[in-house]
Amino acid sequence: MNVGYSAHKDDSLVSIKCGGSKSGDKSVSETDIGKAALAAISYALKDEDGLLFLQCWHDREFDMIRLGWPEVPSEVFLVNT
């Protein structure tokens, strides 16, 4: 099930839809997931929309993250996605 979110980001309205799992996700190692998770949590703690960011990250909505948070470090992305 998809859940819609809206957030104010940099004085403009950004609509982001996060939720559900993507079919065809490639498998990644637990080490890669752990490293990306630590990077995502570290980033989220510093961002005013951190919870929304983490929801998108959890749902593997990486295209939405790239759109809504263009300044996010590359370490938050899973290697094979």
- pLDDT confidence bin for 32, thresholds 50/70/90: confident
- pLDDT confidence bin for 49, thresholds 50/70/90: very high
Work out the percent of the chain whose per-residue pLDDT is above 70. Answer: 62
Tokens of 31: 């080490």
Q: Nearest-CA neighbor of 22 among 52, 57, 51?
A: 57
- On the question of pLDDT at 76 being above 90, the answer is yes
Q: What span, in angstroms and rounded, lies between the C-alpha atoms of 36 and 72?
A: 12
Mean pLDDT of the 5-26 span? 47
- On the question of pLDDT at 69 being above 80, the answer is yes
- pLDDT confidence bin for 31, thresholds 50/70/90: confident
